[in-house]
Amino acid sequence: MDKLKHYEIDFGGKAFGKHRFTYELNEEFFAIFEGSIVQNASFTAQVEMNKQKHMIQFDISLSGSTQVICDRCNDPFEMDLNSEHLLLLKMGDHVEEEDVDVYVIPQTQTTWNIAQQLYEYVCTAMPMRIVHPEGKCNPEFMKTLEHINDHDETEQQEDPRWKKLKNINLN
């Protein structure tokens, strides 16, 4: 995948210590991932790599926005997202994923493509329930929803069947 080549970090030739990288994640980046849930997005990823003798630590800071659909009123809006992540690469004898953000890689490996992690971090930064900020939902829809809720409450209060059932003596 030549499109992901830009996200490959060559740590083999770098000195021990901290190194910084900046990546712009836009629509072209998210289109690389089939079935992406992120649409019309623009993010900046600040990556600080701390190279040590037996481990490489990536501190990743993501900030930006994406176009989403409100779960309440079904109108689109732009949602701002910010998140911080820690990714660890341990040097070992074999390839293994110890944890979600901890990987064991061969000591001979000198590069790491960070694209998959950046994509996943943006996806997991999105909340489970996406709604407009308070008071920003479509006003016409909110009126309709309020009317439906009022109608349901009125029906429940006036149903005489419940009154008769409460009078039944089970003795």
Longest dimension (CA), the chain: 86
CA 57, CA 48: separation in Å to the nearest integer? 8
Side-chain-facing half-sphere of 98: CA atoms under 13 Å: 12
- Under DSSP, the state recorded for 126 is S
Residue in 48, 53, 49, 47 with CA at minimum distance from that of residue 90: 53
According to the model, what pLDDT value does residue 2 have?
Answer: 78
CB 87 within 8 A of CB 123: no
pLDDT score at 145: 81
Q: What is the DSSP letter of 18?
A: E
Instruction: Give me the pLDDT at residue 41, please.
Output: 95
Q: Dig out the tokens for 137 from the structure.
A: 């939902």
* The pairing of beta strand 96-99 with beta strand 102-106: antiparallel
pLDDT of residue 111: 94
Residue type, 107: Q
Neighbours of 152 (CB within 10 A): 10
Q: DSSP alpha helices (H): ranges in the chain?
A: 27-31, 115-125, 139-158, 160-166
Per-residue pLDDT of the chain (171 residues; tens, 9 = 90+): 578 899 999 998 899 999 999 999 999 999 999 999 998 999 999 999 999 999 999 999 999 999 999 998 999 999 999 999 999 999 988 788 888 899 999 989 999 999 999 999 999 999 999 999 888 888 888 888 887 876 655 555 656 777 777 777 765
CA distance linking residue 58 with residue 49, whole number of Å: 5
How far is Cα 132 from Cα 125, in angstroms, rounded to an integer?
16
Which candidate, 55, 56, 57, 59, places its Cα nearest to that of 46? 59
> For residue 127, how many C-alpha atoms fall within 13 Å in the half-sphere facing its CB?
14
The predicted structure's pLDDT at residue 151: 60
